Protein backbone atom coordinates (compact mmCIF):
# COMPACT_ATOMS: atom_id res chain seq x y z
CA UNK A 1 0.00 0.00 0.00
CA UNK A 2 1.34 3.47 -0.88
CA UNK A 3 -1.82 5.57 -0.62
CA UNK A 4 -1.04 8.50 1.65
CA UNK A 5 -3.17 11.45 2.67
CA UNK A 6 -1.73 14.81 3.60
CA UNK A 7 -2.86 17.59 5.94
CA UNK A 8 -1.48 20.18 8.33
CA UNK A 9 -0.62 18.96 11.82
CA UNK A 10 -2.80 19.84 14.81
CA UNK A 11 -2.18 19.70 18.54
CA UNK A 12 -3.53 16.12 18.82
CA UNK A 13 -0.70 14.90 16.54
CA UNK A 14 1.99 15.77 19.11
CA UNK A 15 2.42 12.27 20.58
CA UNK A 16 2.78 10.67 17.16
CA UNK A 17 5.17 13.38 15.94
CA UNK A 18 7.46 13.00 18.96
CA UNK A 19 7.44 9.21 18.57
CA UNK A 20 8.33 9.47 14.87
CA UNK A 21 11.11 11.95 15.66
CA UNK A 22 12.68 9.50 18.14
CA UNK A 23 12.34 6.69 15.61
CA UNK A 24 14.05 8.62 12.81
CA UNK A 25 16.74 10.69 14.53
CA UNK A 26 19.31 10.17 17.28
CA UNK A 27 20.53 13.79 17.27
CA UNK A 28 19.16 17.23 16.34
CA UNK A 29 15.66 16.17 17.33
CA UNK A 30 12.73 18.57 17.41
CA UNK A 31 11.32 18.75 20.93
CA UNK A 32 7.69 18.30 21.89
CA UNK A 33 7.58 21.96 22.87
CA UNK A 34 8.86 22.98 19.44
CA UNK A 35 6.37 20.74 17.65
CA UNK A 36 3.61 22.38 19.68
CA UNK A 37 4.83 25.83 18.68
CA UNK A 38 4.95 24.87 15.00
CA UNK A 39 1.39 23.54 15.07
CA UNK A 40 0.25 26.83 16.56
CA UNK A 41 2.38 29.12 14.36
CA UNK A 42 0.11 30.46 11.59
CA UNK A 43 2.97 31.47 9.30
CA UNK A 44 4.86 28.14 9.23
CA UNK A 45 3.55 24.83 7.86
CA UNK A 46 3.90 21.37 9.46
CA UNK A 47 2.68 18.92 6.80
CA UNK A 48 1.99 15.34 7.86
CA UNK A 49 1.37 12.18 5.84
CA UNK A 50 -1.02 9.50 7.05
CA UNK A 51 -1.92 6.01 5.93
CA UNK A 52 -4.88 4.22 7.49
CA UNK A 53 -4.97 6.87 10.21
CA UNK A 54 -1.32 6.34 11.20
CA UNK A 55 1.39 9.02 10.97
CA UNK A 56 3.87 7.98 8.28
CA UNK A 57 5.91 11.15 7.89
CA UNK A 58 6.11 14.91 8.20
CA UNK A 59 7.74 17.91 6.55
CA UNK A 60 8.25 21.13 8.48
CA UNK A 61 8.41 24.31 6.37
CA UNK A 62 9.43 27.65 7.83
CA UNK A 63 8.23 30.83 6.11
CA UNK A 64 10.68 33.70 6.45
CA UNK A 65 8.78 36.77 7.60
CA UNK A 66 10.77 39.44 5.73
CA UNK A 67 11.37 37.69 2.40
CA UNK A 68 9.68 35.45 -0.17
CA UNK A 69 11.76 32.47 0.99
CA UNK A 70 10.52 29.19 2.44
CA UNK A 71 12.76 26.61 4.07
CA UNK A 72 12.34 22.90 4.72
CA UNK A 73 13.59 22.68 8.28
CA UNK A 74 13.05 18.95 8.81
CA UNK A 75 11.59 15.96 7.02
CA UNK A 76 11.02 12.47 8.42
CA UNK A 77 9.58 9.26 6.98
CA UNK A 78 8.64 6.22 9.07
CA UNK A 79 10.79 3.14 8.32
CA UNK A 80 7.67 1.14 7.40
CA UNK A 81 6.69 3.76 4.79
CA UNK A 82 10.05 3.95 3.04
CA UNK A 83 10.41 2.77 -0.50
CA UNK A 84 7.09 4.25 -1.63
CA UNK A 85 8.27 7.73 -2.64
CA UNK A 86 6.84 9.40 0.45
CA UNK A 87 9.82 11.73 0.87
CA UNK A 88 9.27 13.15 -2.59
CA UNK A 89 5.53 13.47 -2.00
CA UNK A 90 6.10 15.33 1.27
CA UNK A 91 8.45 17.75 -0.48
CA UNK A 92 5.88 18.39 -3.21
CA UNK A 93 3.18 19.02 -0.60
CA UNK A 94 5.53 21.38 1.23
CA UNK A 95 6.28 23.27 -1.99
CA UNK A 96 2.57 23.66 -2.70
CA UNK A 97 2.01 25.04 0.79
CA UNK A 98 4.84 27.53 0.23
CA UNK A 99 3.48 28.59 -3.17
CA UNK A 100 0.05 29.21 -1.65
CA UNK A 101 1.81 31.39 0.93
CA UNK A 102 3.38 33.46 -1.88
CA UNK A 103 6.92 32.10 -1.53
CA UNK A 104 9.19 32.13 -4.56
CA UNK A 105 12.12 29.94 -3.50
CA UNK A 106 12.34 26.84 -1.30
CA UNK A 107 15.59 26.19 0.55
CA UNK A 108 16.87 23.31 2.67
CA UNK A 109 19.96 21.89 4.35
CA UNK A 110 21.16 18.30 4.11
CA UNK A 111 24.12 16.46 5.60
CA UNK A 112 26.98 16.27 3.11
CA UNK A 113 27.23 12.50 3.65
CA UNK A 114 23.50 11.85 3.02
CA UNK A 115 23.97 10.75 -0.59
CA UNK A 116 20.44 9.36 -0.94
CA UNK A 117 18.75 12.58 0.13
CA UNK A 118 21.11 14.70 -2.00
CA UNK A 119 20.29 12.57 -5.04
CA UNK A 120 16.56 13.07 -4.38
CA UNK A 121 16.87 16.84 -4.05
CA UNK A 122 18.91 17.09 -7.23
CA UNK A 123 16.38 14.95 -9.10
CA UNK A 124 13.61 17.29 -7.93
CA UNK A 125 15.46 20.29 -9.37
CA UNK A 126 17.23 21.63 -6.30
CA UNK A 127 20.71 23.07 -6.79
CA UNK A 128 23.44 23.61 -4.23
CA UNK A 129 24.23 27.22 -3.41
CA UNK A 130 26.20 27.07 -0.17
CA UNK A 131 27.87 25.09 2.60
CA UNK A 132 27.46 25.35 6.38
CA UNK A 133 30.31 23.87 8.41
CA UNK A 134 29.81 22.67 11.99
CA UNK A 135 26.05 22.84 11.44
CA UNK A 136 24.83 19.72 13.23
CA UNK A 137 25.21 18.65 16.86
CA UNK A 138 28.01 16.27 15.89
CA UNK A 139 29.77 19.16 14.05
CA UNK A 140 28.82 17.73 10.67
CA UNK A 141 28.69 19.87 7.52
CA UNK A 142 25.43 20.78 5.80
CA UNK A 143 24.98 21.50 2.11
CA UNK A 144 22.44 24.18 1.24
CA UNK A 145 20.07 23.65 -1.68
CA UNK A 146 17.34 25.76 -3.23
CA UNK A 147 14.72 25.58 -5.96
CA UNK A 148 12.44 28.18 -7.44
CA UNK A 149 8.87 27.01 -6.82
CA UNK A 150 6.67 29.90 -7.98
CA UNK A 151 6.36 30.39 -11.73
CA UNK A 152 4.42 32.81 -13.86
CA UNK A 153 1.12 31.63 -15.31
CA UNK A 154 0.72 33.00 -18.81
CA UNK A 155 -1.79 35.83 -19.20
CA UNK A 156 -3.19 37.04 -22.52
CA UNK A 157 -3.25 40.56 -21.06
CA UNK A 158 0.47 40.97 -21.69
CA UNK A 159 2.72 40.46 -24.73
CA UNK A 160 4.40 37.06 -25.04
CA UNK A 161 8.10 37.82 -24.66
CA UNK A 162 10.68 35.30 -25.90
CA UNK A 163 13.80 34.73 -23.82
CA UNK A 164 17.32 35.50 -24.99
CA UNK A 165 20.40 35.03 -22.73
CA UNK A 166 23.29 37.45 -22.97
CA UNK A 167 26.43 35.85 -24.40
CA UNK A 168 28.98 38.25 -22.88
CA UNK A 169 29.47 39.75 -19.43
CA UNK A 170 28.81 43.27 -20.73
CA UNK A 171 25.78 42.92 -23.04
CA UNK A 172 22.79 42.64 -20.69
CA UNK A 173 21.31 45.82 -22.22
CA UNK A 174 21.36 44.54 -25.80
CA UNK A 175 20.02 41.13 -24.69
CA UNK A 176 17.15 42.77 -22.78
CA UNK A 177 16.39 44.99 -25.78
CA UNK A 178 16.46 42.02 -28.16
CA UNK A 179 13.77 40.32 -26.05
CA UNK A 180 11.59 43.44 -26.11
CA UNK A 181 11.93 43.90 -29.87
CA UNK A 182 11.39 40.21 -30.63
CA UNK A 183 8.12 40.33 -28.66
CA UNK A 184 6.89 43.01 -31.06
CA UNK A 185 8.40 41.74 -34.32
CA UNK A 186 8.78 38.03 -35.03
CA UNK A 187 11.42 38.81 -37.66
CA UNK A 188 13.69 40.52 -35.12
CA UNK A 189 17.06 38.70 -35.08
CA UNK A 190 17.90 37.00 -31.78
CA UNK A 191 21.57 36.33 -32.47
CA UNK A 192 24.95 37.08 -30.94
CA UNK A 193 25.76 39.22 -33.98
CA UNK A 194 22.70 41.41 -33.36
CA UNK A 195 23.54 41.52 -29.64
CA UNK A 196 27.03 42.84 -30.39
CA UNK A 197 25.74 45.31 -33.00
CA UNK A 198 23.38 46.74 -30.39
CA UNK A 199 26.19 46.92 -27.84
CA UNK A 200 28.38 48.86 -30.25
CA UNK A 201 25.55 51.34 -30.87
CA UNK A 202 24.44 51.80 -27.27
CA UNK A 203 27.60 51.50 -25.16
CA UNK A 204 28.61 54.29 -22.81
CA UNK A 205 32.31 53.40 -23.30
CA UNK A 206 33.36 53.09 -19.64
CA UNK A 207 31.92 51.23 -16.66
CA UNK A 208 33.14 49.94 -13.30
CA UNK A 209 35.53 47.50 -14.97
CA UNK A 210 36.11 45.85 -18.30
CA UNK A 211 34.06 46.66 -21.37
CA UNK A 212 31.59 49.52 -21.39
CA UNK A 213 27.94 48.97 -20.63
CA UNK A 214 24.88 50.38 -22.35
CA UNK A 215 22.84 53.37 -21.23
CA UNK A 216 19.18 54.23 -21.83
CA UNK A 217 19.91 56.88 -24.47
CA UNK A 218 21.81 54.41 -26.64
CA UNK A 219 19.29 51.60 -26.19
CA UNK A 220 16.41 53.90 -27.11
CA UNK A 221 18.26 55.04 -30.24
CA UNK A 222 19.08 51.46 -31.21
CA UNK A 223 15.40 50.49 -30.98
CA UNK A 224 14.34 53.58 -32.94
CA UNK A 225 16.91 52.92 -35.66
CA UNK A 226 15.33 49.49 -36.16
CA UNK A 227 11.92 51.04 -36.71
CA UNK A 228 10.43 50.64 -33.22
CA UNK A 229 8.70 53.26 -31.13
CA UNK A 230 10.78 54.17 -28.09
CA UNK A 231 10.34 56.27 -24.97
CA UNK A 232 13.13 56.82 -22.45
CA UNK A 233 12.66 57.55 -18.76
CA UNK A 234 15.84 58.85 -17.12
CA UNK A 235 15.68 60.42 -13.68
CA UNK A 236 18.69 62.67 -14.18
CA UNK A 237 20.19 64.86 -16.88
CA UNK A 238 23.75 64.87 -18.09
CA UNK A 239 26.20 62.04 -18.71
CA UNK A 240 25.40 58.85 -16.81
CA UNK A 241 27.76 56.63 -14.80
CA UNK A 242 30.40 59.35 -14.39
CA UNK A 243 30.88 58.26 -10.79
CA UNK A 244 32.05 54.84 -12.01
CA UNK A 245 35.29 56.36 -13.37
CA UNK A 246 37.85 58.54 -11.59
CA UNK A 247 40.03 59.64 -14.48
CA UNK A 248 39.08 63.12 -15.70
CA UNK A 249 39.84 62.22 -19.31
CA UNK A 250 37.43 59.30 -19.09
CA UNK A 251 34.79 61.55 -17.54
CA UNK A 252 35.19 63.89 -20.51
CA UNK A 253 34.78 60.97 -22.91
CA UNK A 254 31.51 60.04 -21.18
CA UNK A 255 30.33 63.64 -21.52
CA UNK A 256 31.15 63.67 -25.23
CA UNK A 257 29.36 60.34 -25.77
CA UNK A 258 26.34 61.79 -23.97
CA UNK A 259 26.41 64.89 -26.14
CA UNK A 260 26.44 62.64 -29.20
CA UNK A 261 23.48 60.64 -27.92
CA UNK A 262 21.50 63.81 -27.19
CA UNK A 263 22.27 65.17 -30.66
CA UNK A 264 21.06 61.94 -32.25
CA UNK A 265 17.97 61.78 -30.03
CA UNK A 266 17.05 65.27 -31.20
CA UNK A 267 16.70 63.96 -34.75
CA UNK A 268 14.15 61.31 -33.74
CA UNK A 269 10.67 61.18 -32.31
CA UNK A 270 11.88 59.49 -29.12
CA UNK A 271 10.21 60.95 -26.04
CA UNK A 272 12.66 61.66 -23.22
CA UNK A 273 11.23 61.98 -19.70
CA UNK A 274 13.20 62.93 -16.62
CA UNK A 275 10.58 61.52 -14.28
CA UNK A 276 10.99 58.00 -12.92
CA UNK A 277 8.93 55.25 -14.51
CA UNK A 278 6.44 54.07 -11.88
CA UNK A 279 5.15 50.47 -11.62
CA UNK A 280 1.71 51.77 -12.65
CA UNK A 281 3.22 53.27 -15.82
CA UNK A 282 5.02 49.99 -16.55
CA UNK A 283 1.82 48.01 -16.25
CA UNK A 284 -0.02 50.47 -18.49
CA UNK A 285 2.74 50.11 -21.10
CA UNK A 286 2.49 46.31 -21.01
CA UNK A 287 -1.29 46.45 -21.39
CA UNK A 288 -0.80 48.68 -24.46
CA UNK A 289 1.45 46.02 -25.99
CA UNK A 290 4.71 47.82 -25.20
CA UNK A 291 7.69 46.28 -23.40
CA UNK A 292 9.72 48.02 -20.65
CA UNK A 293 13.47 47.46 -20.44
CA UNK A 294 14.64 48.50 -16.97
CA UNK A 295 18.01 49.27 -15.37
CA UNK A 296 18.23 47.65 -11.94
CA UNK A 297 20.68 47.11 -9.13
CA UNK A 298 21.02 43.37 -8.52
CA UNK A 299 22.18 43.77 -4.92
CA UNK A 300 19.00 42.11 -3.61
CA UNK A 301 19.49 39.20 -6.02
CA UNK A 302 23.20 38.41 -5.97
CA UNK A 303 24.92 41.09 -3.84
CA UNK A 304 26.42 42.67 -6.96
CA UNK A 305 26.49 46.45 -7.30
CA UNK A 306 26.90 46.46 -11.08
CA UNK A 307 23.99 48.05 -13.00
CA UNK A 308 22.03 45.47 -14.94
CA UNK A 309 19.35 45.58 -17.65
CA UNK A 310 16.29 43.30 -17.54
CA UNK A 311 13.05 43.01 -19.50
CA UNK A 312 9.72 43.41 -17.68
CA UNK A 313 7.28 40.77 -18.93
CA UNK A 314 4.21 40.91 -16.70
CA UNK A 315 2.84 42.22 -13.41
CA UNK A 316 0.23 41.25 -10.88
CA UNK A 317 -0.70 42.48 -7.42
CA UNK A 318 2.24 40.71 -5.78
CA UNK A 319 5.03 40.52 -8.32
CA UNK A 320 6.86 42.09 -11.22
CA UNK A 321 7.98 39.32 -13.58
CA UNK A 322 11.33 39.75 -15.30
CA UNK A 323 13.37 38.09 -18.02
CA UNK A 324 16.90 38.37 -16.63
CA UNK A 325 19.36 37.77 -19.50
CA UNK A 326 22.25 36.76 -17.23
CA UNK A 327 22.55 33.02 -16.55
CA UNK A 328 25.31 31.98 -14.13
CA UNK A 329 26.06 28.50 -15.44
CA UNK A 330 28.81 27.94 -12.87
CA UNK A 331 26.21 28.38 -10.13
CA UNK A 332 23.94 25.85 -11.79
CA UNK A 333 21.45 28.37 -13.17
CA UNK A 334 19.39 27.53 -16.23
CA UNK A 335 17.03 29.42 -18.52
CA UNK A 336 14.13 28.31 -16.30
CA UNK A 337 15.67 30.24 -13.39
CA UNK A 338 15.70 33.51 -15.34
CA UNK A 339 12.42 33.48 -17.30
CA UNK A 340 9.47 35.28 -15.73
CA UNK A 341 11.47 35.71 -12.52
CA UNK A 342 8.97 36.90 -9.88
CA UNK A 343 10.16 39.90 -7.84
CA UNK A 344 8.08 41.27 -4.98
CA UNK A 345 6.74 44.67 -6.06
CA UNK A 346 8.20 46.48 -3.06
CA UNK A 347 11.58 44.82 -3.60
CA UNK A 348 11.44 45.72 -7.29
CA UNK A 349 10.94 49.40 -6.48
CA UNK A 350 14.17 49.25 -4.47
CA UNK A 351 15.97 47.36 -7.24
CA UNK A 352 14.91 49.86 -9.93
CA UNK A 353 17.34 52.43 -8.54
CA UNK A 354 21.07 52.33 -9.18
CA UNK A 355 23.56 54.12 -6.95
CA UNK A 356 23.49 55.65 -3.46
CA UNK A 357 23.63 59.42 -3.90
CA UNK A 358 20.78 60.57 -6.12
CA UNK A 359 20.12 57.03 -7.38
CA UNK A 360 19.57 56.69 -11.10
CA UNK A 361 16.29 55.35 -12.43
CA UNK A 362 16.38 54.48 -16.12
CA UNK A 363 14.06 52.63 -18.48
CA UNK A 364 13.29 52.34 -22.16
CA UNK A 365 9.74 51.54 -23.27
CA UNK A 366 9.80 49.77 -26.62
CA UNK A 367 6.66 50.03 -28.73
CA UNK A 368 5.50 48.42 -32.00
CA UNK A 369 7.18 49.36 -35.26
CA UNK A 370 6.23 52.79 -36.49
CA UNK A 371 5.11 51.60 -39.92
CA UNK A 372 2.99 48.70 -38.81
CA distances from 190 to 162, 211, 362 (A): 9, 22, 24
* pTM tops 0.85, yes or no: no
Residues of the chain with CATH 3.90.70.10: 172-369
What pLDDT shows up at residue 324?
A: 94
Q: Which pLDDT belongs to residue 74?
A: 95
DSSP string, 93-125: HHHHHHHHTT--EEEEEEETT-HHHHHHHHHTT
The 3-state DSSP class for residue 261 equals helix
DSSP state of 243: G
Q: What percent of the chain has pLDDT over 70?
A: 93
Question: Rounded to whole angstroms, how far apart are CA atoms 236 and 79?
Answer: 64
pLDDT per position as a tens digit, 166-208 = 999 889 999 999 999 999 999 999 999 999 999 999 987 655 5
Q: What is the pLDDT of residue 305?
A: 67
Q: What's the mean per-residue pLDDT of the chain?
A: 89
Q: What does the angle CA 9 – CA 10 – CA 16 come to, to the nearest 5 degrees?
A: 70
Tell me the β-bridge partners of 354.
360
253, 206 Cβ separation under 8 angstroms:
yes
What angle is formed at CA 313 by the lines to CA 365 and CA 340, rounded to 5 degrees? 150
Q: In CATH, what class is 5-148?
A: alpha beta
Question: Residue 1: pLDDT band by 50, 70, 90 thresholds?
Answer: very low
Give the tens place of pLDDT for each residue, 217-270: 999 999 999 999 999 999 888 877 777 677 888 888 888 888 999 999 999 999
Secondary-structure class of domain 172-369 per CATH? alpha beta
- C-alpha dist (Å) from residue 32 to 17, 19, 21, 40, 176: 8, 10, 10, 13, 52
Contact 213, 177 (CB under 8 A): no
What average pLDDT does this structure show over 365-371? 94
Condensed to tens digits (0 to 9), the pLDDT of residues 10-68 reads 999 999 999 999 999 988 899 999 999 999 888 899 999 999 999 999 999 998 776 78
Whole-angstrom distance between the N-terminal and C-terminal Cα of the chain? 62
- Which residue intervals of the chain bear CATH 3.40.630.30? 5-148
pLDDT at 166: 96
- What is the rounded distance in angstroms from the CA atom of residue 60 to the CA atom of residue 28? 14
Distance (Å, whole) CA 196 – CA 166: 10
Q: Quote the pLDDT of residue 344.
A: 85
Amino acid sequence: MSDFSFRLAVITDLDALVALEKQCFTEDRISRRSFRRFTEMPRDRLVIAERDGQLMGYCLVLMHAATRLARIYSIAVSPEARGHGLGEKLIREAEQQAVEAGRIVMRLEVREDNARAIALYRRLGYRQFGTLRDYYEDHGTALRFERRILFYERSSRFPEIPYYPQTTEFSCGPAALIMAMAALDHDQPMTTLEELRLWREATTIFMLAGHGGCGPHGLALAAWNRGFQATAYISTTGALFKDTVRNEDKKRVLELVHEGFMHDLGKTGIELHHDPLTPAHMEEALLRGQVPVILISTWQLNRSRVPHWVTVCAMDRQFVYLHDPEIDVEEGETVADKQYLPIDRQVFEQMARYGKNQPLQAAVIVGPKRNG
